[in-house]
Structure 1
Amino acid sequence: MTNFSIDTHLSPIKKEKPNWGELEFGKVFTDHMFIMDYKEGKGWHDARIVPYQPITLDPAAMIFHYGQTVFEGLKAYLAKDGRILLFRPEKNMQRLNRSNDRLCIPPIDEDLALDALKQLIAVDKEWVPTVEGTSLYIRPFIIATEPYLGVSASASYRFMIILSPVGSYYKEGIHPVKILVENEYVRAVSGGTGEAKTAGNYAASLKAQETADQKEYSQVLWLDGVEKKYIEEVGSMNIFFKINDEIITPALNGSILPGVTRDSIIALLKYWNIPVSERRISIDEVMDAYRDGQLQEAFGTGTAAVISPIGELLWNNEKMIVNGGKTGELSKKLYDTLTGIQKGDLEDPFGWVTEIK
């Protein structure tokens, strides 16, 4: 598969670029996209870069009926010296294949996929926004395309990569968000698909998010699906707490997505010799820490928002105001350091950054 060439067909008409300073998240798309197909007995084939366009699928395509799909999310950044940088893209391709395995989708060649991603960005490099706080969001995804209504794994698939210049995911930016602790609905359970990046996990979260929106909270804090007491994720992010000078994040347990930003934050904290633990943590423990004055900070981590400080948690109609509702010192330091490395402004002691030539 690594011997496949990638055919490129350039769009004869270029779209008008948006105002970089007014970008929302995920609403504008670039001129081109990458496509590669899979057929049982033939494997992955016909890798190509083509003009961004609608796709045509049979109404019986299995993606529509059984949700066999996976996706990833990462970003490209424009450095001050004009270089275009990626942050740990190989981790996203590795995770995509882990999701593939869980959803019974044939694995992709990670090197080929990463090369295709780089070539696509090189074609659409003028779409990497130049304003502070912006980036080029990258969405690789795979869908089942076989027209068949039997419940089984599809015999054909399509792998695509699309690009979108974006601003901040949350309108609050690095400012603290309000989080509603969810007691009724469940996002995922161990043994399910929680650790895979698949569409159904996000569809399952929408009902609880509606309730949060109605109460004017930015996101939902998910508890475990069995006892409904142990903390798992916040919205589409991993979560960290600073309690009595120790950083605690829920251990990966089969229902929590292994975030690339999560992994990077843990590495940074260890690099700084700051105590960090990956373990089970209950909402009761967080509440007790808050009542004892030991809950110092809380923040979510993810590709879209990078670091999202939490200023308030609402659980059983009781509010926890974290750090006076202000961005914590550690949250700010982590955000500044990680974004500084991503954009090439700070030294990268981990070798995380890849330049697109």
Structure 2
Amino acid sequence: MEIRIERAKTLKPKPDQNHLGFGKYYTDHMFEIDWDKDQGGWHDARIIPYAPLQIDPATMVLHYAQETFEGLKAYRNPQGEVQLFRPEMNARRMQNSNKRLCMPYLSEEDFVEAVSKLVEVEQDWIPTAPETSLYIRPFMFASEPGVGVHPAVSYKFIIILTPVGNYYPEGVAPVKIWIEDEYVRAVKGGTGFTKCGGNYAGSLKAQEKAEEHGYTQVLWLDGNEKKYVEEVGSMNIMFLINDTVVTAPTEGTVLPGVTRDSMLTILRDWGYNVEERKLPVTELMEAARTGALKEAWGTGTAAVISPVGELYFKGEECVINDFKTGPLTQKLYDTLTGIQWGRLPDKFGWIKVLK
């Protein structure tokens, strides 16, 4: 893919690496490419100065929500090299999201090239303070102006970058989880497995309710029976029940997380029993009551791991591991971040070092 580069004439000051927060600052440049049916598909790949978008009020994404996105990170390893973590998985997942929403998609090769080139241009923005990285947000939306329900004939694919610290201000510390039994996130045949904005917009009502009761995140049940545990609002979730790690299967209603897949691979490599199965919420709460639930943690690119210290379901509160980060949760976090930041060897071939 031929990428035109237009450098910004004025560069932004870099933020304090020790107070980055998450998604508050944006780099000097962004990647952009257009897709138009009457022009034969993708054209005009460019890296340009970061700037507001100009769109028509009738732009179809604003009315019919044809939109998808991804999230991954770039890291600076101890040798000063820039590296990405499994970007090809994000490329494939975005392809699947776009297929479901009747949108065109970049090839895996072009997706990874676009990400790599933009990160190379903006590598001075990659923070080096502990637990920091450069978050990469590729997204795509229907750019055709028109009021009529049909797949658009034009789209924009854009990548923006933001230097980040911990997703949660408290860092890797246990959170309280509200198990939602009124609203649902996804049903079979829907868009639960995609990364589309509508999934997240539909989750906000339950998130608001959970926060009103003092809980950080929502744990969703299946949309058909409200019986089986699926995922947390912004993460997949795993449970150590006795000596077995249990997590929901990715069968169309659960996002196939890159961090999820990585942790399952590591756990199996360590010899843990791992079950990807439907877990009834009644079984989960019984395990929490009896102490069989040893640890629980959420997994995702933004937070990496978020230990769960308490579950709430229908008036019952169950504390997990004395509201402390468990040893397996900590070991997983240390191992995965060690690979991502280049502090540990990458025996799985997950790291792409940029030239």
- TM-score normalized with structure 2 length: 0.99
Equivalent residue runs for 1:27-176 within 5 Å: 27-41=24-38, 42-176=40-174
Which position in structure 2 is the counterpart of 1:262? Answer: 260
Identical aligned residues as a percent: 55
User: Secondary structure of the equivalent of 1:118?
Assistant: helix
Q: CA deviation at 1:345?
A: 0.4
Structure 1 residue runs of 4 or more that deviate by more than 4 Å after TM superposition: none
Q: Distance in 1 between matches of 2:87 and 2:342?
A: 15
Which letter maps to 1:12? K
Which letter maps to 1:255? T
Is 1:9 matched with 2:9? no
User: Secondary structure of the equivalent of 2:134?
Assistant: strand
Q: Distance in 2 between matches of 1:348 and 1:161?
A: 27
Q: CA deviation at 1:120?
A: 0.6
Aligned residues between the structures? 354
Q: Distance in 1 between matches of 2:92 and 2:292?
A: 37
Q: Distance in 1 between matches of 2:133 and 2:324?
A: 25
Q: CA deviation at 1:107?
A: 2.1
Contact 2:210 2:216 (C-alpha < 8 Å) held by counterparts: yes
Contact 2:235 2:298 (C-alpha < 8 Å) held by counterparts: yes
Contact 2:200 2:233 (C-alpha < 8 Å) held by counterparts: no
Structure 2 spans left out of the alignment, 5+ residues:
none
Q: CA deviation at 1:58?
A: 0.9
Give the superposed CA RMSD: 0.7
Q: CA deviation at 1:292?
A: 2.1
Which letter maps to 1:327? T
Which position in structure 2 is the counterpart of 1:26? Answer: 23
Which position in structure 2 is the counterpart of 1:241? Answer: 239
1:187 counterpart (179, 185, 188): 185
Q: Distance in 2 between matches of 1:222 and 1:249?
A: 13
Q: Distance in 2 between matches of 1:329 and 1:225?
A: 33
Which position in structure 1 is the counterpart of 2:212? Answer: 214
Q: Distance in 2 between matches of 1:91 and 1:172?
A: 29
Q: Distance in 2 between matches of 1:158 and 1:235?
A: 27
1:39-65 deviation line (CA, Å, top 9, x unaligned): 003200000000000011111110000
Q: CA deviation at 1:172?
A: 2.1
2:249 counterpart (242, 248, 251): 251
User: Secondary structure of the equivalent of 2:305?
Assistant: strand
1:291-343 deviation line (CA, Å, top 9, x unaligned): 22201000000000001100001111111100110000000000000000000
Q: CA deviation at 1:290?
A: 1.6
Which letter maps to 1:9? E
